[in-house]
Protein backbone atom coordinates (compact mmCIF):
# COMPACT_ATOMS: atom_id res chain seq x y z
CA UNK A 1 0.00 0.00 0.00
CA UNK A 2 1.59 3.28 -1.03
CA UNK A 3 2.54 5.71 1.77
CA UNK A 4 1.77 9.35 1.36
CA UNK A 5 4.53 11.93 1.36
CA UNK A 6 3.41 13.45 4.67
CA UNK A 7 3.49 10.05 6.35
CA UNK A 8 6.96 9.36 4.94
CA UNK A 9 8.21 12.69 6.30
CA UNK A 10 6.81 11.94 9.73
CA UNK A 11 8.37 8.49 9.69
CA UNK A 12 11.79 9.92 8.84
CA UNK A 13 11.54 12.49 11.61
CA UNK A 14 10.63 9.83 14.14
CA UNK A 15 13.60 7.70 13.07
CA UNK A 16 16.39 10.31 12.94
CA UNK A 17 15.32 13.23 15.12
CA UNK A 18 14.84 12.12 18.71
CA UNK A 19 13.38 14.81 20.97
CA UNK A 20 15.98 16.25 23.39
CA UNK A 21 15.15 16.64 27.09
CA UNK A 22 15.88 19.93 28.83
CA UNK A 23 18.98 19.82 31.16
CA UNK A 24 18.12 19.11 34.76
CA UNK A 25 19.05 21.79 37.26
CA UNK A 26 21.79 20.84 39.83
CA UNK A 27 20.39 19.98 43.20
CA UNK A 28 21.30 22.53 45.93
CA UNK A 29 23.71 21.26 48.63
CA UNK A 30 21.92 20.57 51.88
CA UNK A 31 22.60 22.80 54.88
CA UNK A 32 23.57 19.71 56.88
CA UNK A 33 26.18 18.77 54.27
CA UNK A 34 27.72 22.24 54.46
CA UNK A 35 27.72 22.07 58.26
CA UNK A 36 29.41 18.65 58.22
CA UNK A 37 32.08 19.86 55.79
CA UNK A 38 32.80 22.95 57.90
CA UNK A 39 33.00 20.87 61.08
CA UNK A 40 35.34 18.34 59.47
CA UNK A 41 37.78 20.94 58.15
CA UNK A 42 37.61 22.90 61.40
CA UNK A 43 38.60 19.72 63.26
CA UNK A 44 41.54 19.14 60.93
CA UNK A 45 42.67 22.74 61.43
CA UNK A 46 42.34 22.50 65.23
CA UNK A 47 44.43 19.32 65.31
CA UNK A 48 47.11 20.91 63.14
CA UNK A 49 47.30 24.05 65.28
CA UNK A 50 47.45 21.95 68.46
CA UNK A 51 50.32 19.86 67.12
CA UNK A 52 52.23 22.99 66.14
CA UNK A 53 51.77 24.43 69.64
CA UNK A 54 52.82 21.16 71.28
CA UNK A 55 56.01 20.85 69.26
CA UNK A 56 56.94 24.52 69.66
CA UNK A 57 59.89 24.75 72.02
CA UNK A 58 59.41 27.75 74.27
CA UNK A 59 62.36 29.92 75.26
CA UNK A 60 63.91 29.29 78.70
CA UNK A 61 63.50 31.94 81.38
CA UNK A 62 66.48 34.26 81.89
CA UNK A 63 68.32 32.85 84.91
CA UNK A 64 71.93 33.21 85.97
CA UNK A 65 74.21 30.22 86.46
CA UNK A 66 77.83 30.65 87.51
CA UNK A 67 80.58 28.73 89.33
CA UNK A 68 80.64 31.45 91.97
CA UNK A 69 76.94 30.96 92.69
CA UNK A 70 77.39 27.18 92.85
CA UNK A 71 80.26 27.59 95.31
CA UNK A 72 78.16 29.99 97.39
CA UNK A 73 75.29 27.48 97.51
CA UNK A 74 77.64 24.68 98.57
CA UNK A 75 79.07 26.87 101.30
CA UNK A 76 75.59 27.71 102.63
CA UNK A 77 74.64 24.03 102.71
CA UNK A 78 77.81 23.17 104.62
CA UNK A 79 77.14 25.96 107.14
CA UNK A 80 73.64 24.59 107.71
CA UNK A 81 75.06 21.11 108.34
CA UNK A 82 77.55 22.50 110.84
CA UNK A 83 74.81 24.44 112.64
CA UNK A 84 72.67 21.31 112.87
CA UNK A 85 75.60 19.39 114.32
CA UNK A 86 75.86 22.04 117.03
CA UNK A 87 72.18 21.68 117.93
CA UNK A 88 71.05 24.92 116.31
CA UNK A 89 67.97 25.50 114.08
CA UNK A 90 69.35 27.25 111.00
CA UNK A 91 67.57 28.63 107.95
CA UNK A 92 68.88 28.09 104.43
CA UNK A 93 68.29 30.80 101.85
CA UNK A 94 69.25 30.37 98.20
CA UNK A 95 68.70 33.02 95.57
CA UNK A 96 67.84 32.23 91.95
CA UNK A 97 71.44 32.07 90.71
CA UNK A 98 72.55 29.87 93.62
CA UNK A 99 69.65 27.45 93.22
CA UNK A 100 70.09 27.06 89.45
CA UNK A 101 73.83 26.65 89.78
CA UNK A 102 73.34 24.06 92.51
CA UNK A 103 70.85 22.13 90.37
CA UNK A 104 73.10 22.31 87.31
CA UNK A 105 76.04 20.85 89.24
CA UNK A 106 74.09 18.11 91.07
CA UNK A 107 71.44 16.93 88.59
CA UNK A 108 74.04 16.17 85.91
CA UNK A 109 71.38 16.38 83.20
CA UNK A 110 73.64 17.01 80.21
CA UNK A 111 75.46 13.69 80.57
CA UNK A 112 72.21 11.85 81.14
CA UNK A 113 70.70 13.40 78.03
CA UNK A 114 73.68 12.38 75.89
CA UNK A 115 73.44 8.82 77.14
CA UNK A 116 69.74 8.67 76.38
CA UNK A 117 69.00 6.97 73.08
CA UNK A 118 65.57 7.76 71.61
CA UNK A 119 63.44 4.66 71.21
CA UNK A 120 60.56 4.19 68.76
CA UNK A 121 57.07 4.51 70.25
CA UNK A 122 55.47 1.18 71.23
CA UNK A 123 52.90 -0.15 68.81
CA UNK A 124 50.36 -0.75 71.54
CA UNK A 125 50.29 2.74 73.01
CA UNK A 126 50.09 6.29 71.80
CA UNK A 127 51.64 8.00 74.81
CA UNK A 128 54.90 8.62 72.95
CA UNK A 129 53.22 10.36 70.03
CA UNK A 130 52.62 14.10 70.55
CA UNK A 131 49.47 13.82 68.47
CA UNK A 132 48.05 11.46 71.08
CA UNK A 133 47.65 14.44 73.39
CA UNK A 134 45.18 15.90 70.92
CA UNK A 135 41.69 14.76 71.64
CA UNK A 136 42.56 13.41 75.09
CA UNK A 137 40.57 15.14 77.77
CA UNK A 138 41.95 13.12 80.71
CA UNK A 139 45.14 13.88 82.60
CA UNK A 140 48.52 12.42 81.60
CA UNK A 141 48.91 8.78 82.57
CA UNK A 142 51.60 7.46 84.87
CA UNK A 143 53.59 6.20 81.85
CA UNK A 144 53.44 9.71 80.34
CA UNK A 145 54.83 11.22 83.53
CA UNK A 146 57.53 8.55 83.81
CA UNK A 147 58.60 9.15 80.19
CA UNK A 148 58.93 12.90 80.82
CA UNK A 149 60.82 12.45 84.07
CA UNK A 150 63.24 9.83 82.77
CA UNK A 151 64.30 11.92 79.76
CA UNK A 152 64.74 15.34 81.37
CA UNK A 153 67.56 17.23 79.65
CA UNK A 154 67.44 20.64 81.30
CA UNK A 155 65.84 22.29 84.32
CA UNK A 156 65.70 26.00 85.10
CA UNK A 157 63.96 27.61 88.04
CA UNK A 158 62.79 31.20 88.23
CA UNK A 159 61.56 32.64 91.53
CA UNK A 160 59.41 35.76 91.83
CA UNK A 161 57.76 36.82 95.07
CA UNK A 162 56.29 33.63 96.57
CA UNK A 163 56.01 31.78 93.26
CA UNK A 164 58.34 29.47 91.40
CA UNK A 165 58.46 28.88 87.65
CA UNK A 166 60.00 25.58 86.61
CA UNK A 167 61.17 25.19 83.01
CA UNK A 168 61.89 21.62 81.93
CA UNK A 169 63.21 20.31 78.59
CA UNK A 170 62.64 16.60 78.03
CA UNK A 171 63.18 14.20 75.17
CA UNK A 172 60.07 12.42 73.90
CA UNK A 173 61.15 9.81 71.34
CA UNK A 174 63.72 12.05 69.67
CA UNK A 175 61.73 15.29 69.96
CA UNK A 176 62.72 18.01 72.42
CA UNK A 177 59.62 19.31 74.19
CA UNK A 178 59.26 21.88 76.94
CA UNK A 179 57.11 21.98 80.04
CA UNK A 180 56.58 25.08 82.16
CA UNK A 181 54.91 25.03 85.57
CA UNK A 182 54.12 27.99 87.81
CA UNK A 183 53.06 27.46 91.39
CA UNK A 184 53.92 27.62 95.07
CA UNK A 185 56.28 25.37 96.99
CA UNK A 186 55.57 24.11 100.46
CA UNK A 187 56.09 21.27 102.89
CA UNK A 188 53.43 19.05 104.41
CA UNK A 189 53.94 16.06 106.72
CA UNK A 190 57.61 15.82 105.75
CA UNK A 191 56.98 15.84 101.99
CA UNK A 192 57.53 18.47 99.32
CA UNK A 193 54.27 20.06 98.21
CA UNK A 194 53.60 21.93 94.98
CA UNK A 195 50.44 23.91 94.28
CA UNK A 196 50.16 24.51 90.51
CA UNK A 197 48.85 27.84 89.29
CA UNK A 198 49.43 27.53 85.55
CA UNK A 199 51.33 25.43 83.08
CA UNK A 200 51.94 24.84 79.42
CA UNK A 201 53.30 22.05 77.27
CA UNK A 202 55.26 23.60 74.44
CA UNK A 203 53.18 26.66 73.62
CA UNK A 204 49.90 24.91 74.49
CA UNK A 205 48.35 26.00 77.81
CA UNK A 206 47.32 23.14 80.10
CA UNK A 207 43.76 23.42 81.49
CA UNK A 208 43.76 24.06 85.23
CA UNK A 209 41.75 20.94 86.07
CA UNK A 210 44.08 18.73 84.00
CA UNK A 211 47.14 20.40 85.53
CA UNK A 212 45.97 19.88 89.10
CA UNK A 213 45.05 16.24 88.42
CA UNK A 214 48.40 15.51 86.77
CA UNK A 215 50.44 17.10 89.58
CA UNK A 216 48.36 15.34 92.22
CA UNK A 217 48.85 12.00 90.48
CA UNK A 218 52.58 12.64 90.20
CA UNK A 219 52.96 13.47 93.87
CA UNK A 220 50.70 10.67 95.12
CA UNK A 221 52.21 7.85 93.07
CA UNK A 222 54.08 5.34 95.26
CA UNK A 223 57.32 5.51 93.24
CA UNK A 224 57.45 9.31 93.50
CA UNK A 225 56.23 9.62 97.06
CA UNK A 226 59.56 8.68 98.61
CA UNK A 227 61.47 10.89 96.19
CA UNK A 228 59.47 13.87 97.44
CA UNK A 229 60.25 13.12 101.07
CA UNK A 230 62.24 15.95 102.65
CA UNK A 231 65.21 15.30 104.93
CA UNK A 232 64.03 14.64 108.46
CA UNK A 233 65.71 17.78 109.79
CA UNK A 234 63.79 20.12 107.39
CA UNK A 235 60.60 21.48 108.94
CA UNK A 236 59.46 23.76 106.12
CA UNK A 237 60.22 25.03 102.64
CA UNK A 238 58.78 27.91 100.63
CA UNK A 239 59.59 30.77 98.25
CA UNK A 240 59.95 34.19 99.84
CA UNK A 241 60.96 37.40 98.08
CA UNK A 242 62.41 35.46 95.16
CA UNK A 243 64.46 33.12 97.37
CA UNK A 244 64.17 29.49 98.36
CA UNK A 245 63.82 29.31 102.14
CA UNK A 246 64.28 26.04 104.02
CA UNK A 247 63.84 25.94 107.78
CA UNK A 248 65.37 23.25 109.99
CA UNK A 249 64.50 21.90 113.42
pLDDT of residue 55: 60
pLDDT value at residue 29: 60
Q: Are 148 and 179 in contact (CB under 8 A)?
A: yes
Q: What is the pLDDT of residue 203?
A: 85
**Three-state secondary structure call for residue 59:** coil
Q: How far apart are CA 21 and CA 17, in angstroms?
A: 12
Instruction: Give me the tens of pLDDT residue by residue for the chain, a chain 249 residues long.
Output: 454 555 554 545 444 555 555 555 555 667 777 777 777 777 766 666 656 666 667 788 888 778 899 999 999 999 999 999 999 999 999 999 999 998 888 775 544 444 433 444 443 444 444 444 444 444 444 455 444 544 678 889 999 999 999 998 877 777 888 889 999 999 988 888 999 999 998 888 889 998 888 888 878 877 677 878 888 889 999 999 999 999 998
Q: Give the number of C-alpha atoms closer than 13 A to the C-alpha of residue 163, restricted to the C-beta side.
A: 10
Q: How far apart are the first and last CA of the chain?
A: 132
According to DSSP, the residues that pair with 196 across neighbouring strands are 183
The pLDDT of residue 56 is 67
pTM: 0.63
Amino acid sequence: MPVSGRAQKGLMMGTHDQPTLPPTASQPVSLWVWAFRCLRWSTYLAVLVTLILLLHKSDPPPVRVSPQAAASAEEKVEQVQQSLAQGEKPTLRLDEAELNSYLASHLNLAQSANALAPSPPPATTSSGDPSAVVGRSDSPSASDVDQMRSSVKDVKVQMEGDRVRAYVVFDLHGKDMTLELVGRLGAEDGFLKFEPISGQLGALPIPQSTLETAVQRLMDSPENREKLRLPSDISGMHIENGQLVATYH
